[in-house]
Structure 1
Amino acid sequence: MLRQQQRQLREYLNRKRNVEEANKRLGDVKRLREALDTNKPIPSDLRGTELPNGNMIVADGNDCVIDDEYRLCGTYDPRILITTSQKPTGPCIRFAKEFALMVPNSTRVNRGQMNEEELMELCKAQGCTDYIQFSGSDGEGRPTLMVISHLPYGPTAHFTIRQLMLRSDLSEKPPKMKQALPHLIFHNFDGQIGHRIMRILKFIFPKPSTIDDQDTRVISFINLGNDVIYVRHHTILSNSTLRKFRQHDPALKDMTTSQKDSLLENIDLDEQGPRFTLEPFKIIRGIPGQKYADIEWQRSYYVRKSAKILGTQNL
């Protein structure tokens, strides 16, 4: 088993090197494309070098390489292990329970005195695909840190949790949470880091089959342009208007956009909770407890810049 894991790790590191080389080539192609489009001189460091494949030069502007770690996602249902820090507070335990209800095929375990290396061995032995941990505490005991790690070799994303509101804290008591597979909505994740964060969050949920006539769960991840992810969990109530959209009623083809919007106003949403925001600040190429893991991206604080990290839109 140990030799097999070492061989898989070598293959994974080799693939990551190939991805880094492909990213560098795509960066050179982008600079060359901009120089040709704007009729400017070719950058000096690209002169005298072998040009990349011609098909790459006429490719579209998408310079993001597909994440190699998630190449098989969608062909199987993920298995998630959710836990907390070693000495969690009461709100942290309740949030872990509610988050386990949000994510299908997830199992919440009490960590006890297990360290990170033992937790990773437990996840691999149980065949888990992702690991989620909540820790930290604000003035009221609510967790402030969320870690999502894709097994067995990463990546691992770190988020800051803010504005947490549990189901019990909502103004109206939500009904019993449905166990249907949720439909995901991601908005304004068109940046390279935003695309990476979106894939990390998306693949902890199983792929929904079809939309039936029963109540449908929707989990939204919205970026309003300030690099803060607003997470909301709703249930769409079934009605005749929604069935028309589900069944692709031919009468909808003759309607204008404003008429369709007026119909959609009749759809009721019930917030299930919990409600919180996520602020990503670090992505590493490894798993928790792994030494010498490379930092793929880290937020730079106290830097004057207007560039958006997750998306380019301002809402």
Structure 2
Amino acid sequence: MDFTEVPVSDQGKGKKKKNKKTKKQKVSEEGEARGDDIDTKDGVKMERTEPVTVFPPTFSVSEIKNKQRRHLMFMKLKQDKRKQKIMLKKKKKKEREALGDKAPPKEVPKTIENQRVYDETTVDPDDEEVKFDEETDEFAAYFNRLTNPKVLITTSDRPRGRTVRFCEQLATVIPNAHVYYRRGLALKRIIPQCIARDFTYLMVINEDRKMPNGLVLCHLPDGPTAHFKVSSVRLRKEIKRRGKDPTAHHPEVILNNFSTRLGHSIGRLFAALFPQDPHFVGRQVATFHNQRDFIFFRFHRYIFKNEKKVGIRELGPRFTLKLRSLQKGTFDSKFGEYEWVLKRHEMDSCRRKFQL
């Protein structure tokens, strides 16, 4: 009887042999998969660089369940992206230096501001009609230096400490400004008293939850009256690397980007707060910068380092204004005639159209 030998494999025993790899071999294989530079020593591959995090193309940080690890991975991705951006910027700079005059012009980034929709009421400073309006409006006497501004700063009823300090610091920025407390008086009763005492402006700081949140600026005796929302208030102690307290010198006034008819009126309303004979010895500048209908106020002192360089130091306070309404005449909430009122849902339909 013939017998045939059948080879017996390990699978028949129900056991599988696993290829055991050392820890160093696994590390080297992971380094090869990442593309790291490796070095061989005694037959063992050694890493040269630190391990680099590599994610699959469809990876999302939000898929990580652990909150701490998710935060660490997000910060690492952000840091890697920043390094790549810096390297690309240096590379472009070297290319521009190598090309010299033949280098292409720098690309201008697209922003909401430079893509602004053209407004029909945009003011041309050289227009004869605009010049005539400036010579005959309520602020002509200030710009002709026939009237010196005198400002009364007051608050809402029972102001808190932060609002009081904000008013006091505003009084040091605006020359010839005086701070008085309301004591329960209505604005309609305060305005005749201000006119009798030769005040040219009434400024009311309103507050909510112990924070300044509104500003009413009333030009006396015939108006107009502007109502602003106040936000991002920073007092002097809260500003890092601030300079010394401002002096009694009259500051220079800078008005930026008030291009429409409404913006032109608001800019002149702000400019008439300050005397039109600045003291250049004091080197102080008050800036009203309009951007996307937000008016940013900054107060600086500058110093000439040399013939070409000028350094500035912020003195404070700083705050942001948003125009809510412009009213003809003095303050009258019931029967006042409004020139312009902010209607958010109608006016903010296009993000690239601005009113100021």
With structure 2 as the length reference, what TM-score do the two structures score? 0.59
**Equivalent residue number for residue 195 of structure 1:** 264
**Equivalent residue number for residue 235 of structure 1:** 301
Pairwise CA distance, 1:173? 4.6
Between the aligned partners of 2:160 and 2:166, the Cα distance in structure 1 is 10
**Equivalent residue number for residue 299 of structure 1:** 342
Between the aligned partners of 2:282 and 2:248, the Cα distance in structure 1 is 10
Between the aligned partners of 1:103 and 1:87, the Cα distance in structure 2 is 23
Is the 2:328–2:337 Cα contact (8 Å) retained in structure 1? yes
**Equivalent residue number for residue 321 of structure 2:** 278
**Equivalent residue number for residue 67 of structure 2:** none
Between the aligned partners of 1:62 and 1:119, the Cα distance in structure 2 is 34
Between the aligned partners of 1:158 and 1:191, the Cα distance in structure 2 is 18
Is the 2:250–2:279 Cα contact (8 Å) retained in structure 1? no
Pairwise CA distance, 1:112? 1.2
List 4+ stretches of structure 1 deviating above 6 A: none
- Quick one: which amino acid aligns to residue 258 of structure 2? F
**Equivalent residue number for residue 186 of structure 1:** 255
1:162-208 residue CA offsets vs partner (Å, 9 max, x unmatched): 11101111123531211111101111101011001101111011112
Over aligned residue pairs, what C-alpha RMSD do you find? 2.3
Structure 1's unaligned 5+ residue stretches are 1-29, 31-58, 242-262, 311-315
Structure 2's unaligned 5+ residue stretches are 1-119, 121-126
Pairwise CA distance, 1:286? 2.0
C-alpha distance 84-146 of structure 1, shift in aligned 2 (>3 A): same
Between the aligned partners of 2:147 and 2:188, the Cα distance in structure 1 is 26
Pairwise CA distance, 1:269? 0.7
Question: In the alignment, which of 95, 98, 103 is matched to residue 166 of structure 2?
Answer: 95
Percent sequence identity over aligned pairs: 27
Between the aligned partners of 1:157 and 1:77, the Cα distance in structure 2 is 20
Between the aligned partners of 2:194 and 2:304, the Cα distance in structure 1 is 38
C-alpha distance 124-159 of structure 1, shift in aligned 2 (>3 A): same
Between the aligned partners of 2:211 and 2:132, the Cα distance in structure 1 is 36
SS at 2:158 equivalent? coil
Pairwise CA distance, 1:64? 8.7
**Equivalent residue number for residue 310 of structure 2:** 267
Between the aligned partners of 2:225 and 2:195, the Cα distance in structure 1 is 15
Between the aligned partners of 2:284 and 2:270, the Cα distance in structure 1 is 16
SS at 1:278 equivalent? strand
C-alpha distance 238-128 of structure 1, shift in aligned 2 (>3 A): same
Bigger mean CA deviation after superposition, 120-129 or 300-309: 300-309
**Equivalent residue number for residue 217 of structure 1:** 284
Pairwise CA distance, 1:293? 1.5
Between the aligned partners of 1:220 and 1:82, the Cα distance in structure 2 is 19
C-alpha distance 287-62 of structure 1, shift in aligned 2 (>3 A): closer
Question: In the alignment, which of 259, 275, 286 is matched to residue 206 of structure 1?
Answer: 275
Say which structure, 1 or 2, has more relative contact order (CA 8 Å, 6+ apart): 1
Pairwise CA distance, 1:268? 1.3
Between the aligned partners of 2:236 and 2:193, the Cα distance in structure 1 is 30
Pairwise CA distance, 1:116? 1.1
Between the aligned partners of 1:99 and 1:152, the Cα distance in structure 2 is 22
Pairwise CA distance, 1:118? 2.1
Between the aligned partners of 1:301 and 1:63, the Cα distance in structure 2 is 32
C-alpha distance 172-209 of structure 1, shift in aligned 2 (>3 A): closer
Pairwise CA distance, 1:90? 1.2
SS at 1:286 equivalent? coil
With structure 1 as the length reference, what TM-score do the two structures score? 0.67
